[in-house]
Amino acid sequence: MLLVLFAVEDIIGEKLERLRGSPDSMQEKIHLPPDRYFGPDPQQKAIAMELYSQAKDLPLVCPHGHVDPRLFADPDCSFGTPTELLIIPDHYVFRMLYSQGIPLESLGIPRLDGGPVEKDHRKIWQIFAENFYLFRGTPTGMWLTHELHEVFGVQEKLTGESAQRIYDQIASCLARPEFRPRALFDRFRIEVLTTTDAATDTLEHHQRIRATWDRRVIPCFRPDGVVNIDTPGWRENVQRLSAVSGIEVTSYRALVRALEERRRFFKEMGATSTDHGVLEPYTEELSEQEAEAIFARAMRGEASAADARRFTGHMLMESARMSIEDGLVMQIHPGSFRNHNLPLYERFGPDKGADIPIATEFTRNLRPLLNKYGNDTRLTLILFMLDESTLSRELAPLAGHYPALKLGPPWWFHDSLNGMMRFRELVTETAGLYNTVGFNDDTRAFPSIPARHDLARRVDANWLAGLVVRGVVDIYDAHEMMQDCAYRLAKKAYKL
Amino acid sequence: MLLVLFAVEDIIGEKLERLRGSPDSMQEKIHLPPDRYFGPDPQQKAIAMELYSQAKDLPLVCPHGHVDPRLFADPDCSFGTPTELLIIPDHYVFRMLYSQGIPLESLGIPRLDGGPVEKDHRKIWQIFAENFYLFRGTPTGMWLTHELHEVFGVQEKLTGESAQRIYDQIASCLARPEFRPRALFDRFRIEVLTTTDAATDTLEHHQRIRATWDRRVIPCFRPDGVVNIDTPGWRENVQRLSAVSGIEVTSYRALVRALEERRRFFKEMGATSTDHGVLEPYTEELSEQEAEAIFARAMRGEASAADARRFTGHMLMESARMSIEDGLVMQIHPGSFRNHNLPLYERFGPDKGADIPIATEFTRNLRPLLNKYGNDTRLTLILFMLDESTLSRELAPLAGHYPALKLGPPWWFHDSLNGMMRFRELVTETAGLYNTVGFNDDTRAFPSIPARHDLARRVDANWLAGLVVRGVVDIYDAHEMMQDCAYRLAKKAYKL
Amino acid sequence: MLLVLFAVEDIIGEKLERLRGSPDSMQEKIHLPPDRYFGPDPQQKAIAMELYSQAKDLPLVCPHGHVDPRLFADPDCSFGTPTELLIIPDHYVFRMLYSQGIPLESLGIPRLDGGPVEKDHRKIWQIFAENFYLFRGTPTGMWLTHELHEVFGVQEKLTGESAQRIYDQIASCLARPEFRPRALFDRFRIEVLTTTDAATDTLEHHQRIRATWDRRVIPCFRPDGVVNIDTPGWRENVQRLSAVSGIEVTSYRALVRALEERRRFFKEMGATSTDHGVLEPYTEELSEQEAEAIFARAMRGEASAADARRFTGHMLMESARMSIEDGLVMQIHPGSFRNHNLPLYERFGPDKGADIPIATEFTRNLRPLLNKYGNDTRLTLILFMLDESTLSRELAPLAGHYPALKLGPPWWFHDSLNGMMRFRELVTETAGLYNTVGFNDDTRAFPSIPARHDLARRVDANWLAGLVVRGVVDIYDAHEMMQDCAYRLAKKAYKL
């Protein structure tokens, strides 16, 4: 014992050498210790391991995300090349490369004008590998490393030197039937996977899935394109809504009816939730006449920014009313300034890593909605945030009071080792664990799903172990809470 | 030693089993380890224990809170049933139950219209016990557990199964003389207890206490009801002020005189401080004419929201002037949006767990006051906050500069294990420890006072031990700082 | 091992006693353990020590600061008395003393009106020493202790009792040639030191340095006084600009030409960067006519606050354009409300510890500039902040996308043990390490430079060791990142 404290530096030095091998060997091999992401205290780590081991093999409940349902509609669908799988569709990956001066064209990101971009996927992969050090300490780095190692069996670290060997290895995996999306769905032990779908979507892929496969892939109803009247292409969206709903949307009243009809259809196709992306969570109840007047102005292309804000705020309230009636869980994702980089947007379109958060206000903005519907236990309203300063200030106090309100997990930039830990620490003391809803992977990158859930489960195990060693909760409670975090809360909140 | 690092998981597993007993036994008994709330590092924990042991039995200085003085006015006053003691008056408790869909009526919370609410206190207690798991990891859970165990000797965890046995045990305690408020005051080693009292209060209970008991229970002067002209019932409050002060308050000038008179009376009754609840800490100096004009509009019921904001801002400045003259310490509690849930407010009244923080600005808002009075060493102005983003950004820099300014401890939602730790970490580096004022329990729940002080002392001991093991301060300084945190700073700042 | 966990409190107690000596001895001697500022976990600490030991002797790159170049212009320049060295010029020091009621006059701070202030430097030193406990747990305390011990060999803690002995010791050092600024520059192993200089500065001291000494002390171009039209004395500054540039600045167009000319001169004198202090990072592109009209109004003393805001916002964009053309790295320091304490400002002038941060918005404010120049890899734009809530919300997402953008290290109040740790934890997951630029000491206090770099290197070593023990990065990557943090990033970002 005295040894521990007096001579710790000498002894540990030796020990560390063995633990980690020499720096040179480290340079070459992926390092994924079984106790990764846990704090170093031995007692806490042992408890974290115990809690994690109990949760790690639970089925994956994925109640919110952006995986393309097409992947599962055709049993023979494949992921394409490693570059098509891991780089081109993933703005988490290419935004970091872009931030260091690497043009999106050289990464094969398609241009809207069809202009030339790199077509050689091995060349793109090489650039990615040479710059993979940029992801040190980032969740993208953690997920990708997990994915390479656990899904594709890669042993080497990804560097310029190893790039092509690893490309070969992944490519040879992807050619095999057990790496088809449907096969991976089972290998990943996914219990349910929710996609996100426009109100105007025909859900044809979901229909194919239901017809040909007995796994649970369900849509989520996202009406942004038809209720946010300042969306580019809003009028076309409204026409499409008319077409798919069979209701001629020429008035506000018809819009509401068409939305109700679409929700009915989505529900029939398995949906249990809706989702609403807004710049700010402003809510306001308009009179029927005001709503009709704004709708008419929007149809004439004459709606102002203030009109758009009010109309969206009103439609959030309408959505809450519909949720009370049809039982769909309502989600709000506010606070992202979309397409911040206008020249880039004009060249490459949306979702290119240039959506930037803004400060968000919930207390005053949500009051009309919460005053009208927040006391109704039939409503489940799940709030997400990109502004962590609201967690202890607004969101936890709101969720710790209103029966209808629950807090979604840390979103986007905050879905990370530190972000998830901060969320637990800032929220739990005021809102409790039971006003939160477990984990969402919220990803487009299907093969990253196990890595994301694994990271979340590890963070929660470590957080709970920290509570146990501090005597905040006992081990019995921690075991219960672990099950809640990893599985039960998501299933219950989303009615799955 | 090598053992520690190599085989830690196996060995710790065994050890943990013994430390915590089996999960089943955990399910049944309250777990309050003597080293609770300290970090797990053995060296830090040992120092934390040493610092804590030196502070844990210091008398409790309670310079700000909301205990009802009535409890001490009559020597035979009793707390009623366990439900009347712990649930019905405590919005920290019932807001969490309410957030999970339990109606306030079923918890016995009285309705304003006198409508029916649950009267069976054992039934209410049963609901509370069955849902006590909601408080896992919350300060309310920590306080209640401490209170049950340390004040009432409860050994079992509170669950649906143990509910009625624990009810019996508490009820039998409450029937005994040593559980009367005055007896607990002594048992808790309270040196001074400050209540919060409206400017119009007659302080009759304080008068009775002074006449019949030699302990120190003192009022704090809170003029919100007469200086915030948008308070519901403001004109009635002004009439009451006229009545108790003997000054006919028909003008701004008379209002100031009446306030000065009441402050004199409060001081005579032992007060050393004032308190000011405001939505935002806006300050502005009005001319005499402007102040009179707004006052006149308010008397006619014609004051605007802007009038109210300016008048409150002006009255904060006037209060600072009065504090310089009469020596009363001035407190500001800004940033709570009161009664956010309007339907609930209309049914149950204020203080029902529906006050929600808003983002708060101090730098510009307080400038007029600080420029006029902040350099005056006769003034002590103590600021509280509900918006943690202001701690390192505005409050610590302000307190680290203006002689008059000090920072109050983490308030309300932030008076928690993590909240207090964040406060120390965000404030100390810029403001130092000596521009803070120790701990406030700020509670209505008298029997929770020892639990709250104990948690605060443990957090500070752990924080200071963290500084010692990191070599930031040495053990000598840490001992001094511990005494400051637990006792000396509060006593000095509040002139007790 | 079992011992460790079961009996840890008894054993550690004994051990601690020896580790730290008795509290009494602690009271007397400076305590600067070699493993200071590292977390207590033995494994993490060992790795931190290893990483730190590899970086601690690297040369100091100082790319941004406020050291007076006069110190190096004359080889025989000396620092004066200990009080002139450590107290009178350092607002970090005297603001804390002032916040506790000690008048600035008694600390020898010169009054603008030439009124009497304390002249006895030993008396000032005595006050400082008696109140040195106020700096417990603050970065100023850490830096001063390091400086006293490492630069001047002081062994005793600074107290009222030891004050005059320590004064003697420092004074005797300062009398010796090896304590001249130029000698300390070499002893501190400074590779490059950047000062901050007004656009109108003749750089005469820099010219003297270049003519007489072969060390690298370079200017940084700061045009605030001529581009922020609401600066007190703006018209005089513009006259001075005309004089030094040889361009008659009677129009906006001439202002731009004069600035370009001065930048050319600064570059010739070694400058690699510019710096811009603004209240908010608002940017907007004005038309030539608008810019001329505002300039004309400003010359007539008729510019409004809105004019000033727009003109400054436009000049930030112009500066970005110039940086693309001449290659100077552009820095923005926004969010400080300067001279908050008006009576103090009128008595003592600027930089007296009364600059207070305000909430800052980057996402919308910087959009015009970033949309126009942020995709240009020739631009390096380094942002600083005083509002930590922007780190994970706005700054990391922006820096993780725009090629031109990098984040400066934690500034001012946040340049501290906890502040630097928070910065790494809030920024790295989204922006990565490689969109940050290493450390800036940003100090006027030349002899504190080694202390500041040492603290930063320790924080980074501890942070990286934390990543290693959690398995987030491996030891190989950590070694690379340590070199980046301590040396390479600053050198590269500032083109040094």
- Tens of pLDDT, residue by residue, chain A (496 residues): 223 333 333 434 444 454 444 555 556 899 899 999 999 999 999 999 999 999 999 999 999 999 999 999 999 999 999 999 999 999 999 999 999 999 999 999 999 999 999 999 999 999 999 999 999 999 999 999 999 999 999 999 999 999 999 999 999 999 999 999 999 999 999 999 999 999 999 999 999 999 999 999 999 999 999 999 999 999 999 999 999 999 999 999 999 999 999 999 999 999 999 999 999 999 999 999 999 999 999 999 999 999 999 999 999 999 999 999 999 999 999 999 999 999 999 999 999 999 999 999 999 999 999 999 999 999 999 999 999 999 999 999 999 999 999 999 999 999 999 999 999 999 999 999 999 999 999 999 999 999 999 999 999 999 999 999 999 999 999 999 999 999 999 999 999 9
User: pLDDT digits over B340-392, tens only?
Assistant: 999 999 999 999 999 999 999 999 999 999 999 999 999 999 999 999 999 99
Phi, then psi, of A365 in degrees rounded to 5? -60, -40
Question: Does C305 contact chain A (CB < 8 Å)?
Answer: no
CA gap B258, B175 in Å, rounded: 44
Question: Does B12 contact chain A (CB < 8 Å)?
Answer: yes
Which chain C residue's Cα is nearest to A91?
A: C401
What is the DSSP secondary-structure string of B333-357? Answer: EE-EETT--HHHHHHH-S-SS--EE
Question: Does B356 contact chain A (CB < 8 Å)?
Answer: yes
Domain count, chain C: 2
Per-window interface: A 307-346 vs C, CB < 8 A: 337, 340-344
B-chain CB neighbours of C356 within 8 Å are 363, 394, 397-398, 401
Q: What residues make up the domain containing A445?
A: 180-493
Q: Are residues A268 and A389 in the same domain?
A: yes
Which chain B residue's Cα is nearest to A360?
A: B359
Q: Report yes or no on A278 lying in a domain.
A: yes
Q: Report yes or no on B43 lying in a domain.
A: no
CA gap B94, B98 in Å, rounded: 6
CA gap A344, A274 in Å, rounded: 30
Task: Of C432, C446, C442, give the one whose Cα is nearest residue C481.
Answer: C432
Q: Are residues C186 and C314 in the same domain?
A: yes
Task: Of B196, B246, B239, give the one whose Cα is nearest residue B221.
Answer: B196
Q: Are residues C271 and C141 in the same domain?
A: no
Cβ separation of C133 and B477 shorter than 8 Å? yes
Q: What pLDDT shows up at residue A31?
A: 85
How many CB atoms lie under 10 A from the CB of residue C311?
Answer: 25
> Taking the model in full, what pTM does it have?
0.96
Q: What pLDDT shows up at residue A25?
A: 55
Q: How far is A272 from chain C (nearest CA, A)?
A: 30
Nearest to C42 among A12, A31, A354 (CB): A12
What integer best gives the mean pLDDT of chain C?
95
B-chain CB neighbours of C391 within 8 Å are none
Q: Report yes or no on B356 lying in a domain.
A: yes
Q: Are residues B236 and B305 in the same domain?
A: yes
Give the residue from A129, A144, A179 where a domain finishes: A179
Give the residue from A179, A200, A234 where a domain finishes: A179
Q: Are residues A293 and A420 in the same domain?
A: yes
Q: What pLDDT shows up at residue A20?
A: 46
The tokens for B89 are 């008056």
The tokens for C152 are 């001047």
Q: Are residues A356 and A441 in the same domain?
A: yes
Q: Is C316 helix (H, G, I), strand (E, B) or coil?
A: helix
Question: Does B13 contact chain C (CB < 8 Å)?
Answer: no
Q: What pLDDT shows up at residue C346?
A: 98
Q: Are residues C139 and C192 in the same domain?
A: no
CA gap A289, A382 in Å, rounded: 30
Q: What pLDDT shows up at residue A78?
A: 92
Q: Report yes or no on A57 lying in a domain.
A: no
Which chain B residue's Cα is nearest to A34?
A: B9
The tokens for C330 are 């552009």
ipTM: 0.95
Q: How far is C340 from chain B (nearest CA, A)?
A: 7
Phi, then psi, of B275 in degrees rounded to 5? -140, 145
Q: How far is A126 from chain C (nearest CA, A)?
A: 19
**Residue B121 confidence class, pLDDT cut points 50, 70, 90:** very high
Task: Of B467, B367, B359, give the one whose Cα is nearest residue C37.
Answer: B467
Cβ-proximal residues to A271 (8 Å cutoff; 6+ apart), any chain? A218, A219, A220, A221, A263, A328
Q: Are residues C102 and C233 in the same domain?
A: no
Q: Report yes or no on B75 lying in a domain.
A: no
Picking from A340, A421, A462 by the largest number of C CB atoms within 10 A of its own CB, the best residue to mutate is A340
Residue B444 per-residue DSSP state: S
Which chain C residue's Cα is nearest to A30?
A: C474
Q: What pLDDT shows up at residue B8?
A: 35
CA gap C443, C275 in Å, rounded: 15
Neighbour order of strands in the sheet with A190-194: A60-62, A190-194, A217-218
Q: Report yes or no on B121 lying in a domain.
A: yes
Q: Are residues B372 and B409 in the same domain?
A: yes
Give the residue from B179, B199, B225 where a domain finishes: B179
CATH of the domain at B168: 1.10.2020.10
Cβ separation of C356 and B399 shorter than 8 Å? no
Task: Of C241, C225, C228, give the one whose Cα is nearest residue C303.
Answer: C228
Q: Report yes or no on C59 lying in a domain.
A: no
How many CB atoms lie under 10 A from the CB of residue A358?
Answer: 19
Per-window interface: B 417-446 vs C, CB < 8 A: 425-426, 428-435
Task: Give the number of C-alpha atoms closer than 13 A to the C-alpha of residue B256, restricted to the C-beta side.
Answer: 19
Q: Report yes or no on C184 lying in a domain.
A: yes
Q: How far is C448 from chain A (nearest CA, A)?
A: 29
Q: Are residues C127 and C196 in the same domain?
A: no
Q: Distance between alpha carbon A54 and the CA centroid of its chain, in Å?
A: 24
Nearest to B357 among A393, A403, A480 (CB): A393
CA gap B110, B466 in Å, rounded: 46
Q: What pLDDT shows up at residue B31?
A: 85
A-chain CB neighbours of B341 within 8 Å are 370-371, 374-375, 401-402
Cβ separation of B8 and A45 shorter than 8 Å? yes
Q: Are residues C314 and C382 in the same domain?
A: yes
Q: What pLDDT shows up at residue A27?
A: 63
Burial A55-88 (b: 16+ CB within 10 A, else e): beebebbbbbbbbebebbbeeeebbebbbebbbb
- State the burial class of residue C175 (Cβ atoms within 10 Å of its Cβ: 0-12, 13-18, 19+): exposed
CA gap B256, B276 in Å, rounded: 15
CATH of the domain at A346: 3.20.20.140
CA gap B314, B435 in Å, rounded: 25
Q: What pLDDT shows up at residue C31?
A: 85
Which residues is C198 bridged to in the sheet? C222
Neighbour order of strands in the sheet with C405-407: C197-198, C221-222, C273-278, C329-334, C381-383, C405-407
Q: Are residues B6 and B127 in the same domain?
A: no
**Is the predicted pLDDT of residue C309 greater than 70, yes or no?**
yes
B-chain CB neighbours of C99 within 8 Å are 399-403, 405, 431-432, 435
C-chain CB neighbours of B434 within 8 Å are 100, 133-134
Which chain B residue's Cα is nearest to A367?
A: B340
